[in-house]
Structure 1
C-alpha cells in the first residue's frame, strides 16, 4: 500500500531549546502551512515533542480536528552535549561518517535509524497520508537514508519551514520537495 509522508521542518523559532516557541514570523508561517495542507485528506499528524514543532502544525490540527501525536523519535538530534565552537565542521563530518559520534551526542546513523523506524511503522500500517513534523538535521538524515546524494550541502539549503513528500510503496521511494524557500 502506498504511504504518503509529508515531512515538515518546523517554522522559524526563537532558539534551539526544546521549549523554544515560534517567532512572530514562525507563527505566520504556521498559518501558511495550514493553507498549504488545507486541500489534503490527512489521516494523522505526528510531531516532535519540541514546542516549535507542535506550534508549527497546531493551526492545521485545530482547523481539521486531527489530534497531534508526539513521538520522541522525531526530536532533534543532539550532536554533542558539549558546546562545540566548530560545530558546523563537526556536523559536516557526521554526514561523511555516519557512525561518527561526539561526547554525549548521537551519531547520524543512530538518529537516522530512529526516524526510519517510525516511517517503517507507518508504512506497515493502514494509514495512507501522514504529516510528520520534525527538525532540519533529522529530516535531512531521513532523506539521506533514501537518497545518498542528500548530505550536508542539502541540509544547509533547507528552509524554515520546509516540506518534503515521501511516497513509500513497497521497496520504491519517491522524494519531492514541495516547499523550500517559498517566502
Structure 2
C-alpha cells in the first residue's frame, strides 16, 4: 500500500498523470509512442524513487484499456461508415469473413492487435463494425493491455537495471522499444509480402 501513499503535491508525481494521459491519448489517436512512454516510465521507476513500478504498470494498463474501449465505441457508433470504409474496394464476402473471424477468434484478434505495432486500431475498428460483443471485448482488452504494458515495462526494467542514470536508462528504454517495434513491423511486412 505504500506505493499508493504518495505525496501528490510533489512535482515528481506529475509523471503519473502524464503517463496515464499519454497512454490514453495515444491509444485513441496514435500520435504518442505509448510503448516508449511505458518503457521510459519503467526505467525511471527502476532508477529513482520518483515513480513506483506497480503504479506505472497499473496506470499504463488503465490508460490503454480505456483508450481501446473508446476507439471500439467510436467505431461501433459509426458502424455504417466503418463498414463502408472496411469493405470499400473489397469483395462483398469480406465483411462476412470478418464477422466469422471475430465469432471464432475475436479475443485472440484483440490481443494480437494490441501487441502488433499498427494492428490495434484496424482490429478495434473491425470489431466495432461487425458489432463484436462489448463484454467479450472488455475481457480481451484487459488481457491485451496487461500483456502489452508488461512487455514494454520489461524493456524499461532491463535498461533501468543496467544503468544507474535515469536519463540514460530512459533513453536506452526508448531506443529498445523503437527497435523492437521496428523489428516486429519488418517481420509483419515480410510475411505479408510472402502471402501475396
Per the shorter chain, which TM-score range?
A: under 0.3
* Larger fraction in helix: 2
Q: TM-score by structure 1 length?
A: 0.28
Higher relative contact order (CA 8 A, sep 6+): 1
More strand by share: 1
Determine which structure has more spread, i.e. the larger CA radius of gyration: 2
